[in-house]
Amino acid sequence: MQKSKYWIGCVMLVLSFVSCDSNRVFDEYKSVPNEWDKDNKIEFKVTPPDSTNAYNLYVNLRNTEDYKYSNLFLIVELNYPNGKTLKDTLEYKMANPDGTFLGTGFTDVKESKLWYKGYKEPFVFDEAGEYIINVQQAMRENGSINGVDKLEGITDVGFRIEHSQTN
């Protein structure tokens, strides 16, 4: 009898994790080898399910304690199927003033879910076809004009699309 209670508990736990992610439309990560070169664009190809519903778009990052900054600058480029391009330079807070990293995780790897589109107004993929998203690091040292050539501490870059709660 005790074993069956154990298995029922495990099944319930797995189902709760699966059901919590029902908003997910697209979620993919790409590994960054050792250091993220300033010229290395991480590319994601997405074909949204429709051109009428609103979505929330996120850049996801995993970082280790080797990341030595409290913020992060990214250049995110959204290429539409018919040739239009949106290019944004974004800044994200990565650590508290005391140096503890934001994000989730119990190990030395922290995962951050960073807003890209959909937080101010609903984002709609208004063209049918494949969209290409490029994510590039754009970090600078204080007082330096040149960018950080090799950014340490970022292990994975991801892109996520969720159904908007305003639907």
Q: What is the domain count for the chain?
A: 1
Q: Which residues form the domain of 132?
A: 25-163
Judged against a pLDDT cut of 60, whether residue 24 lies above it is answered with yes
pTM above 0.85, yes or no: no
Where residue 106 falls among pLDDT bands split at 50, 70, 90? confident
The H or E element that residue 10 is part of is helix 2-19
Q: Is residue 52 part of a domain?
A: yes
Q: Is residue 6 part of a domain?
A: no
CB 59, CB 157: distance < 8 Å:
yes
Per-residue pLDDT, 51: 87
CA angle 33, 59, 54 (to 5 degrees): 150
